[in-house]
Amino acid sequence: MPPNPINNYEEFLKISRAKLGYELYGYWELLSADNAEQIIFEHWDTFCPIVFPNSNERLFPPRPTYWTNNDKALFTETFGRNGLKAPLCWYQAQTLGLSSRDDANIPLSKYFPPSSSPIFFGATLHGRICLPSGADSFKQDRFVDHKVTVKEYSGDHWFILSHAEQINRDLNA
């Protein structure tokens, strides 16, 4: 995402609701709430399957094969020990527009990578966030001289975990 000196989270939700029929980043509201860490830890056993779903069809699907028992134990131990406040700060910065002032100091010439930089966009066919329509951004004139590669994967939000080998092959192609 490019810098956003005019960050309006509510407007973004309205636009995504009109375009997609749902609020693309509506979950950011929960994750940016002052009591998000407490809510997450109080509902840890149901939070984890939602964060790492095996399917978009069921509210509490079984854990996906790429997320092993060891991964779950490490995730639980690490965040149980260190808490979630630091990772959740990113969501507060987005929903409250806290990075807008910093973004306003970035020159327009630095908003996008130089044309000599290749761009890889991976989309998920079964998720709700990394949508194939996101690649439409690269049809803008500012990307005409870029080498843009767009690949779609039959996975959900965490397709970089479930399709790691395929993505690595595509990146090396």
pTM (two decimals): 0.73
- Please state whether 130 falls in left (phi above 0), alpha (psi between -120 and 50) or beta: beta
Cα 122 vs. chain centroid, distance in angstroms? 12
pLDDT at site 68: 84
The single-letter code of the amino acid at 154 is S
Same structural domain for residues 33 and 116?
no
Residue 146: domain span: 112-172
Same structural domain for residues 100 and 134?
no
Q: Which residues contact 49 (CB under 8 A, 6 or more apart)?
A: 60, 61, 62, 63
Counting the structural domains of the chain, the total is 2
Place of tokens 């100091």: 105
Question: Is 166 part of a structural domain of the chain?
Answer: yes
Asked which of 52, 75, 104 is the last residue of a domain, the reply is 104
Question: Is 2 part of a structural domain of the chain?
Answer: no
Question: Is 4 part of a structural domain of the chain?
Answer: no
pLDDT at site 127: 81
Same structural domain for residues 97 and 17?
yes
The single-letter code of the amino acid at 120 is F
- Residue with the bigger pLDDT between 139 and 75: it is 139
Q: Please, which pLDDT band fits residue 171 given cuts at 50, 70 and 90?
A: very high
Using alpha carbons, list the distances in angstroms from residue 86 to 89, 92, 93, 117. Answer: 5, 10, 11, 31
Same structural domain for residues 13 and 47?
yes
Same structural domain for residues 129 and 159?
yes
Tens-digit pLDDT profile for residues 62-113: 677 777 889 888 988 999 999 999 999 999 999 999 989 899 999 988 989 9
Measured between alpha carbons, how far is 78 from 51 in angstroms, rounded to an integer?
A: 16
Asked which of 104, 127, 155 is the last residue of a domain, the reply is 104
Same structural domain for residues 58 and 122?
no
pLDDT at site 82: 92
Tens-digit pLDDT profile for residues 20-64: 898 988 999 999 999 999 999 998 888 877 777 666 555 666 677
Same structural domain for residues 27 and 66?
yes
> Is the confidence at residue 173, as pLDDT, over 80?
no
pLDDT at site 47: 82
Same structural domain for residues 26 and 68?
yes
Measured between alpha carbons, how far is 91 from 27 in angstroms, rounded to an integer?
A: 9
Same structural domain for residues 117 and 163?
yes
The single-letter code of the amino acid at 138 is F
- Residue with the bigger pLDDT between 128 and 168: it is 168
Q: Please, which pLDDT band fits residue 14 given cuts at 50, 70 and 90?
A: very high
Same structural domain for residues 62 and 40?
yes
Same structural domain for residues 13 and 88?
yes
Looking at the DSSP assignment, which residues form a beta bridge with residue 118? none
Asked which of 47, 69, 104 is the last residue of a domain, the reply is 104
